[in-house]
Structure 1
Amino acid sequence: MNLLKKITYLKYKKNPYFHKFYTEIQKKPLEHLTFCSFDLETTGLDIKKDEIISIGGIKIKDLKIELSSKFYKVVRPKKKIKKESILIHGITTADIETALPPEEVIPNFLEYIKGTILVGYFISFDISILSRYSQEMFGIPVLNPYIDIRDIYFSKLKSRYTPTEKREEKNLEQLAEEYG
């Protein structure tokens, strides 16, 4: 663990919620780690202002997807969903009318991801928004280590000496198709 991470953990270790939502990942072979692939949908793309409207996650334990332990909740935001966002994720105002407020969903999700390595596409966006909620509610950000699929893709392009101007931004569906 690098020095910056150690300092961050020490800073939050006395927080009463630290052990409820975080546990250090023990050094184990890759095949024995637990990952959580997750994604958020939001009212927009502003990390500081927009709100979560759905959270989905699925655990991968011992390199096997645990379908029985999936997590999916629609979340009722305080603000209206932007039309541009509805076109991207398809979640409408009608879908969120009966949804739970973030105060009921976020703690459950933080417990769900405890002890996992988070995996996602452009995951820093999702972690930033989730951390904002966690920080507001519990005074602690999301501290889980994470892997960004997008970064892996770009590192593969770099290893093939692809010039920067020829590196094509692909979405998650395109990457899944390319890599089977």
Structure 2
Amino acid sequence: MFKNIIRKFQISRLKDKNFLYLFDEAPKNEYICLDCETTGLNPRKDEIISIGAVMIKDNKVIMRKNFNIFLKPSSKVNAESIKIHQIRPIDLQNATEPKVAIYKLLEFIGSRPIIGYYIKFDIAIISKYTKQYIGIKLPNESIEVSSMYYKTKKRSSEYEFVDLKFDTIMKNLDIPELGKHDALNDAIMTAMIFLKLKDKTPAKTTFYTN
């Protein structure tokens, strides 16, 4: 009931009814795995400079169904963030205007659930843009792979530490490493984590609404 109230409220705030498809019933057994490279870790003030996403359908990563785009920042990318994501100003010379990029992303995602590693950050920073452009936060359900992984670990007590670093999860699940801090590669690796864990954790415990 509460979920329906939020849905109706979001629809009422939608500026452009062309985006009503975001509230459609999600296609069965389809997900979008997503990752953003950003200028910093504060969704309120930092910007997205790259988005990578890939579709999962019927327990397979559909490589031909991928999304990879650079966004034009409003100001010069600082040197500290370049050390992390390796995206230089020259790489952004032909980047897409943020509004165009976000519209393309929404079309790619549709109403599918979104998977990610610490996905709440990605959802929050994308929602900064969607609130500006279409009036609402990204309404899709989201799935956090680190929470899925946590639920698979047997612990002697509820206080036992579980290492949830991305590299640790990858290593323990025996997943091959692609180039890191590349949005599309990170999305693909996260998709592989999800598929490894999908049947080990109850789906209903890994979904979150925003």
Q: Structure 2 length normalisation: TM-score?
A: 0.75
* Distance in 2 separating the partners of 1:82 and 1:132: 21
Work out whether 1:168 is the aligned partner of 2:163: yes
Cα 1:22–1:86 shift into 2, 3 Å: farther
Contact 1:51–1:79 under 8 Å retained in 2: no
Work out whether 1:19 is the aligned partner of 2:14: no
- Deviation at residue 122 of structure 1 after TM alignment: 0.3
Contact 2:69–2:101 under 8 Å retained in 1: yes
Contact 1:44–1:82 under 8 Å retained in 2: no
Cα 1:67–1:13 shift into 2, 3 Å: same
* Distance in 2 separating the partners of 1:94 and 1:121: 28
The structure 2 residue matched to 1:103, chosen from 99, 103, 111, is 99
Contact 1:76–1:99 under 8 Å retained in 2: yes
- Deviation at residue 82 of structure 1 after TM alignment: 2.8
Q: 1:155 corresponds to which letter in structure 2?
A: K
List runs of 5+ in structure 1 lacking aligned partners: 27-31
In structure 2, the partner of 1:77 is 73
1:42-57 equivalences under 5 Å are 42-57=38-53
Work out whether 1:38 is the aligned partner of 2:34: yes
* Distance in 1 separating the partners of 2:84 and 2:68: 18
Alpha-carbon displacement from aligned partner over 1:24-53 (angstroms, at most 9, x marks no partner): 326xxxxx4101111000010011010000
Contact 1:54–1:75 under 8 Å retained in 2: yes
Give the structure, 1 or 2, with the largest relative contact order (CA under 8 Å, sep 6 or more): 2
Q: Structure 1 length normalisation: TM-score?
A: 0.86
The percent of aligned pairs where both chains have the same amino acid is 32
- Deviation at residue 162 of structure 1 after TM alignment: 5.1
* Distance in 1 separating the partners of 2:75 and 2:146: 29
Alpha-carbon displacement from aligned partner over 1:131-178 (angstroms, at most 9, x marks no partner): 110011100211111111111122333x4235536332412x331221
Contact 2:33–2:114 under 8 Å retained in 1: yes
Which region of structure 1 is more displaced relative to structure 2, 43-52 or 85-94? 85-94
Contact 2:30–2:55 under 8 Å retained in 1: yes
* Distance in 2 separating the partners of 1:22 and 1:68: 25
The structure 2 residue matched to 1:144, chosen from 134, 140, 143, is 140
Q: 1:86 corresponds to which letter in structure 2?
A: I
> How many residues end up aligned between the 2 structures?
171
* Distance in 2 separating the partners of 1:20 and 1:93: 35
List runs of 5+ in structure 2 lacking aligned partners: 175-210
- Deviation at residue 8 of structure 1 after TM alignment: 1.3
